[in-house]
A = this chain, B = another copy of it.
């Protein structure tokens, strides 16, 4: 089985992935490899030259091309413990997601996310799960800003810990894009929930037992994977 790489700079593979190649995978010039562009294309190529920070490819052949089937975007607050957000990002990528929006809420405990680290986790996860589309990780933005940016998505949901009979699986429409906002540790404030509802977001429940933020995110991603069959 050929080793698989990611590059959005073909015929070059740059940075982390090229160092990874040269060192960990012990690739050498003349090796045939697989490359994904993160936009639905899978190539085979030959390593022409291995530099310190880039790999030069030639004989690049398109092997497979798919269109993105992912409909799900999730807006989620960074967790106090960054490894929990990293777990969410890895698992959501494996299960299938289109966009991840880290959000600042009133009760978010973090003011920054390690975007490069998270993007490397996403790249490893699509290679490992053999997907051809790279989910988009947006920069950390305010709750209000992401509400605004996702206006046009036809199915908009906000999940929080109130008594709430509505289950996502009972109202999700299979063929339409969907965004789900996941509450932070300490949950959304009443003002945030109100603002979301004023912008067409439907409140949903994720079930009876209380879920951690990252668990709720992975649960919703799995649920949509299941509903899309």
Using CB atoms and an 8 Å cutoff, list the residues of chain A in contact with chain B: 87, 91, 94-96, 128-131, 167, 169, 207, 209-212, 215, 218-219, 222-223, 225-226, 229
Partner of A219, one of B87, B95, B131, B207: B95
Cα–Cα, bound, A32→B58 (Å): 71
- Complex Cα distance, B169 from A226, in Å, reads 8
B contact residues around A229 at 8 Å (CB): 167, 207
Residues of B within 8 A of A130 (CB): 209-210
Chain B residues near A167 (CB, 8 Å)?
226, 229
CA distance A194 to B131 in the complex (A): 29
With A219-B222, A222-B219, A226-B223 as known contacts, state yes or no: A211 contacts B169, CB within 8 Å.
no
Q: How far is the CA of A94 from the CA of B218 in the complex (A)?
A: 12
Cβ contacts under 8 Å, A129 to chain B? 209-212
| Max count, chain B CB within 10 A of own CB: residue among A91, A215, A223 | A215
How many identical chains are in the complex? 2
Chain B positions within 8 Å of A210 at CB level: 94, 128-130
Q: In the complex the two chains form, what is the Cα distance from A229 to B209 in whole Å?
A: 12
The residues of B that contact A91 with a CB separation of less than 8 Å are 215, 218
- What are 20 A-B pairs at a CB distance below 8 A? A91-B218, A94-B209, A95-B211, A95-B215, A95-B219, A96-B209, A129-B209, A129-B211, A129-B212, A131-B209, A167-B229, A207-B225, A207-B226, A218-B218, A218-B222, A219-B222, A219-B225, A222-B223, A223-B226, A226-B226
A72 to B109, CA, bound (A): 34
Residues on the B chain within 8 Å of A128, using CB: 210, 212
A9 and B173 alpha carbons, distance in the complex (Å): 49
Residues of the B chain whose Cβ atoms lie less than 8 Å from the Cβ of A211? 94-95, 129
Nearest opposing residue in chain B for A167, CB measure: B229
Q: How far is the CA of A209 from the CA of B96 in the complex (A)?
A: 8
Given contacts A87-B87, A218-B218, contact A95 B226 (CB under 8 A): no
Closest 3 CB pairs of A and B: A129-B209, A222-B222, A219-B222
CB distance from A155 to the nearest CB of B (A): 17
